[in-house]
């Protein structure tokens, strides 16, 4: 069978050759001086040093001699500022010292591709950096000398294990600094995907248990007492109007409840304490939300803020116990969520309360 003909042009991948500029601007008539090894970095002398530091936020000032660039910054300047490499075998020697050098340089290059000013944390010690932060970011029309950064940046390999509690602590710390949280994920092809982490408080418009009238509570109790157990939960054979739209599905002239809905409803009718394994469900239901199974989307629930017949589910919520354990799998879940126009959210229990951490794809240049 013949293959379908391609009707699109594949995206061209950036190769970033060594010793060759990929910048669109023309090279200077007089070539820049070669960087000089200096303590823990590479010395750039005036006048280039002033332009790199003042306009591009690169390097650390060292007396009147110029600025010192990290190896990562030398690569960036080689690609975009026509800076020659220190020697032909320089990269091989540097990558032996730091096996993540190329990954960090590619992440740094990608982070700056949207025009924002991204500066390694080691270069801006006057600003408070969050733990584990790789760089701080300013908007393209901001100055690092006159304004606070807008976000903190971290990066990870796709194959790294993912500690959601650690990400939560970091994101919480960054938000307290009134900044945003950006994470760059790089794969073995040196392709980078960017994500933004934030905390949300999902809420919906549905009537909650405490808003039901005495008559509605009596009707629910009578219907529950006539329940028939099924493999998936319970069937309530009644033609009365079901007063609690947040749970149950009308089907076969009755109401079908999932096991988790039935267990929660029985606790509420009896006035019993909600068991630990149902507390997240209870938290979301009492926010006026509707929870439906999210198995088609690789999540615990798809969550509606209005009636199912009136709107799409804005969120896919995953629990900490079932969430992806590597960045590779997390990226897959987030991509799937956004492919169906939903936001991916991880629910975590912290300090006896539930926090909802949203992770969405982001792109350089959107700030």
The 10s digit of each residue's pLDDT in 323-332 is 999 999 999 9
Please confirm whether the linkage preceding 47 is cis (ω < 30° from 0).
yes
First to last CA, the chain: 47
> Quick check: 119 pLDDT over 70?
yes
> Quick check: 367 pLDDT over 90?
no
347 vs 354: CA distance, rounded Å: 7
Q: Provide φ and ψ at 344, rounded to 5°.
A: -90, 130
Confidence of residue 3 (pLDDT cuts 50, 70, 90): low
Over residues 235-240, mean pLDDT: 84
The highest-level CATH class for domain 285-359 is alpha beta
209 vs 23: CA distance, rounded Å: 61
> Quick check: 11 pLDDT over 80?
no
23 vs 307: CA distance, rounded Å: 52
Among the residue ranges 77-86, 205-214, 221-230, 236-245, the one predicted with the least confidence is 236-245
Confidence of residue 282 (pLDDT cuts 50, 70, 90): very high
Parse the chain into domains and list their residue ranges.
16-98, 209-282, 285-359
Query: What mean pLDDT is reported for the chain?
Result: 92
- Scan for tokens 């690092």, then name that residue: 144
Over residues 40-45, mean pLDDT: 93
> Quick check: 141 pLDDT over 60?
yes
Contact between residue 178 and residue 171 where contact means Cβ atoms under 8 Å apart: no
> Quick check: 334 pLDDT over 60?
yes
Contact between residue 258 and residue 293 where contact means Cβ atoms under 8 Å apart: yes
């Amino acid at each position: 069978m013949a293959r379908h003909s391609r009707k699109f042009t594949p995206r061209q991948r950036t190769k970033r050759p060594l010793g060759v500029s990929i910048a669109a601007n023309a090279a200077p008539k007089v070539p820049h001086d070669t960087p000089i090894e200096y303590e823990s970095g590479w010395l750039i002398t005036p006048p280039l040093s002033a332009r790199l530091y003042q306009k591009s936020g690169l390097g650390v000032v060292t007396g009147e001699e110029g600025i010192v660039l990290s190896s990562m910054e030398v690569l960036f300047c080689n690609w975009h500022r026509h800076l020659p490499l220190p020697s032909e075998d320089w990269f091989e020697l540097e990558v032996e010292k730091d096996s993540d050098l190329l990954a960090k340089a590619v992440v740094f290059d990608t982070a700056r591709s949207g025009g924002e000013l991204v500066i390694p944390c080691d270069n801006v010690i006057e600003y408070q950096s969050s733990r584990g932060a790789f760089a701080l970011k300013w908007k393209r029309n901001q100055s690092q000398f006159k304004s606070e950064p807008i976000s903190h940046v971290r990066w990870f390999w796709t194959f790294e294990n993912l500690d959601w509690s650690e990400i939560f602590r970091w994101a919480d710390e960054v938000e307290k600094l009134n900044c945003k949280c950006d994470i760059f994920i790089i794969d073995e092809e040196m392709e980078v995907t960017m994500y933004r982490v934030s905390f949300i408080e999902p809420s919906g418009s549905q009537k909650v248990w405490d808003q039901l009238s005495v008559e509605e509570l009596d009707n629910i109790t009578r219907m529950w007492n006539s329940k028939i157990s099924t493999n998936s939960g319970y069937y309530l054979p009644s033609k009365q109007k079901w007063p609690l739209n947040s749970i149950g599905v009308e089907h076969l002239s009755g109401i079908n409840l999932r096991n988790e809905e039935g267990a929660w409803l029985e606790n509420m009718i009896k006035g019993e304490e909600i068991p630990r394994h149902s507390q997240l469900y209870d938290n979301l239901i009492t926010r006026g939300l509707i929870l439906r199974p999210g198995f088609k989307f690789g999540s615990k629930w798809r969550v509606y803020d209005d009636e199912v017949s009136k709107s799409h589910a804005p969120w896919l919520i995953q629990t900490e116990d079932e969430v992806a354990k590597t960045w590779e799998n997390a990226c897959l879940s987030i991509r799937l969520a956004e492919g169906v126009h939903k936001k991916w959210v991880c629910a975590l229990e912290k300090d006896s309360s539930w926090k909802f951490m949203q992770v969405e794809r982001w792109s350089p240049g959107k700030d």
